[in-house]
Amino acid sequence: MSQNIQQQIQQLRDELREHNYNYYVLDNPIISDYDFDMKLKQLQELEAKHPEFYDANSPSLRVGGEVTKNFKTVVHESRMYSLDNSYSKEDLEDWETRIKKLVDGDVMYTCELKYDGASMNLTYENGTLVKAVTRGDGFQGDNVTANVKTIKSVPLQLRGDYPDKFEIRGEIVLPIDGFLKMNEARIETGEEPYRNPRNTASGSLKLQDSAEVAKRPLECLLYSLKGRHLGVDTQFEGLQKARDWGFKVPSEARLVKSIDEVLEYINYWDEHRHELPYEIDGVVVKVNSFYQQEELGYTAKAPRWAMAYKFKAEQVSTRLNEITYQVGRTGAITPVANLEPVELAGTTVKRASLHNADQIAKLDVREGDEVFVEKGGEIIPKIIAVDFTKRPENSQPTKYITHCPECDIALVRQEGEAQHYCPNYNGCPPQIIGRIQHYISRKAMDIEGLGGETVALLVNAGLISNYSDLYELTVGEVLPLERMAQKSAENLVNGIEASKQIPFERVLYALGIRYVGETVAKKLAKHYKSIDALSNASQDDLVNVDEIGEKIAESVVDFFNSEQNQLIIERLKRFGVQLELSAETLANQTNKLEGETFVVSGVFETVSRTELKKLIEDNGGKVSSSISSKTSFVVAGDKMGPSKRTKAEKLEIPIITEDEFLQKIK
């Protein structure tokens, strides 16, 4: 009897999965909604009576019900990069020229529509969805699996010949029709309508009750496979495979042979995009071959093998009421245009950046002007021109401020610099607050329980004046702060304590040294291995480190020349913050390849290309993407490009195999 019930439950699950796939992915239902609902009801009744046959991926659980109070942060196995943007034919042609210098043979491109939604990374094991994580900062995101399971176009169980384990990336979108219906319902009940589909889709993923998410008509459009042994060699094949496995992959993607064909695709969709059921803001162009993608690799921020083409930005005109000035954590002054509120690209715009004094002079922008505002690739809108026909007769040219708006110290502007700076490093409140906010941020110390607003409260209450003061805070001291309860005060203090385990390269980034971003911090940490060695480095020493220029070197030396910074670092040491590379990291690093530059080309057997590059860097070597007279060795795998081989032979650069390289570092 029990076996018959189990078979009945399994048969209903299989049927419902098939009908779900036909309806939400293929858009081709073969039974009525009523019949589907009856089968679902039958399954729910059987599962309620027989909890021993529970399945976390049963179609009956699509309705949600799981409540998530706190979304856990998950580190991505493979970083989710952002894309470089292009806006013209010339941009794309320049991109193609760069590509053809780095890879051999003909290059084909996959063109895909750039959907405007929330990026998502799904992980499948043995055909079952095990994890759904938001993009976050690209390195880590939030686990929203319970909410994503309610989205009908996300398969919970795959079909066909899928790999044992892989990731697939896509965009969670809210179709325009669904968005309009949601707003109609809100207006009827007297609620404020949602602003735009993108923000509504993104916000839906962070609702605590997955049953509420299930009520929203979200869809998941997939576009990128990640993993090893996928069984495909190209992006376009990958899209087809994903469809076969049960994913909703947009059919508008095209495989083309030239940038001219790419432009035909772009021009068509620029004209026809409003016929689509979803919002798009451009086209993504990818080198089709996975092998060529590997050859091209990544910059610090984006893949070299992909380019986003953004459609012309929307523009509106509005009145500039006032120009105010903001002080950043480095003391940089940013002029801000305060505008008469205006609707632009689905959001109400009240402010726009004016960048610097030169930009104000170039545009001759003044308070009271009617200005044209654009929201392009940037999140912050910008003023692109002034409507001089509407300028008031009594208009006066803008005089850039001479003193800091926060501490009234005279501003400085270095030769060759675009921005003015407040030099009051230790006494200007926004700089003090900004540095601590940077220190606790997600990519830096990632202190749980402590946000930017709380930092400002702590500074204004006189409890902290620099980031080393954080480590002396007690629950009793922070409890009196606004909106602070016993539990949140304990979480804050515990989060600060946990930050002592953050590795050195992230601590170095957290210190907020001007021009030292994530990538530079990693380079410096790897080279100097401790804060003491770095603080003793001269400007000449620093510029000899790979990718460290004069500007960065000067800034690092200035930072450590400050007596106050030295005192803060001494305190961080006493509190146990990681200010040198860990023994584990050092154990994996040698200087065996110091002074040697390698070019990696081809497909490898024992280790992946990424692992090979890491081995080079861990052993003190440098990886370059192109062969030159400065190249020490070319590590050649299967399918090495013939032009690279020819160039290496011409320059008499030694070509070694994967095994020979591994022997070299053994």
CATH number at residue 637: 3.40.50.10190
Tokens of 529: 């291995």
Residues 133 and 179 in one domain: yes
CATH number at residue 35: 1.10.287.610
Residue 402 in domain? no
Find the mean pLDDT for residues 394-419: 92
Which secondary structure element, helix H or strand E, spans residue 46, and what is its range?
A: helix 33-49
Q: Which of 52-61, 192-201, 455-464, 569-578 has the lowest mean pLDDT?
A: 52-61
Q: Does the annotation place 258 within a ligand binding site?
A: no
Environment class of 24 (CB within 10 Å of its CB; exposed 0-12, middle 13-18, buried 19+): middle
Residues 238 and 182 in one domain: yes
Q: Does the annotation place 504 within a ligand binding site?
A: no
Examine the pLDDT at 27 and tell me if it is beyond 70: no
Q: What is the pLDDT of residues 497-541, one digit of tens each?
A: 999 999 999 999 999 998 898 889 988 998 899 999 999 999 999
Residues 532 and 480 in one domain: no
Q: Does the annotation place 435 within a ligand binding site?
A: no
Q: Which of 81-90, 181-190, 314-323, 561-570 has the lowest mean pLDDT?
A: 181-190
Q: Which of 138-142, 145-149, 322-326, 413-417 has the lowest mean pLDDT?
A: 413-417
Rg (CA), the chain: 28
Task: Give catalytic residues, as residue numbers.
Answer: 114
Q: How many Cα atoms within 13 Å fall on the side-chain side of residue 608?
A: 9
Residues 284 and 338 in one domain: no
pLDDT the model gives residue 489: 92
Q: Does the annotation place 83 within a ligand binding site?
A: yes
Q: What is the pLDDT of residues 214-239, one digit of tens each?
A: 889 999 999 999 998 899 999 999 99
Distance, first Cα to last Cα, the chain: 62
Q: Does the annotation place 220 within a ligand binding site?
A: no
Q: What is the pLDDT of residues 599-654, one digit of tens each?
A: 998 888 888 887 888 888 888 888 887 888 889 999 988 878 788 888 899 999 99
Looking at the 3D structure of the chain, how many domains does it have?
6
Find the mean pLDDT for residues 562-580: 96
Q: Is 337 helix (H, G, I), strand (E, B) or coil?
A: strand
Find the mean pLDDT for residues 182-193: 80
Examine the pLDDT at 9 and tell me if it is beyond 90: no
Residues 288 and 339 in one domain: no
Residue 381 to residue 315: CA distance in whole angstroms = 10
CATH number at residue 549: 1.10.150.20
Output the average pLDDT for the chain.
Answer: 88
Environment class of 469 (CB within 10 Å of its CB; exposed 0-12, middle 13-18, buried 19+): middle
Residues 96 and 167 in one domain: yes
Residue 525 to residue 580: CA distance in whole angstroms = 8
CATH number at residue 238: 3.30.470.30
Residues 222 and 320 in one domain: no
Q: Give one word for 34, left, alpha or beta, with left for phi > 0 and alpha for psi -120 to 50.
A: alpha
Q: Does the annotation place 310 within a ligand binding site?
A: yes
Q: Does the annotation place 27 within a ligand binding site?
A: no
* Cβ atoms of 178 and 151 closer than 8 Å: no
Q: Could you write out the DSSP letters of every residue in 511-522?
A: TT-TT--HHHHH
Q: What is the pLDDT of residues 125-167, one digit of tens each?
A: 999 999 999 998 888 899 999 999 999 899 999 988 999 999 9
Find the mean pLDDT for residues 472-479: 94
Last residue of a domain, one of 480, 501, 522: 501
Residues 106 and 59 in one domain: no
pLDDT tier, 379 (very low <50, low <70, confident <90, very high otherwise): low
Nearest to 275 by CA among 253, 252, 249: 252
Last residue of a domain, one of 477, 501, 525: 501
Examine the pLDDT at 65 and tell me if it is beyond 70: no
Tokens of 632: 């020490």
pLDDT the model gives residue 66: 65
Residue 637 to residue 644: CA distance in whole angstroms = 12
* Cβ atoms of 244 and 180 closer than 8 Å: no
pLDDT the model gives residue 35: 76
In the beta sheet, which residues pair with residue 209? Answer: 67
Q: Does the annotation place 153 within a ligand binding site?
A: no
* Cβ atoms of 117 and 170 closer than 8 Å: no
Domain hosting residue 492, numbered range = 429-501
Tokens of 389: 């026909």
Q: Does the annotation place 94 within a ligand binding site?
A: no
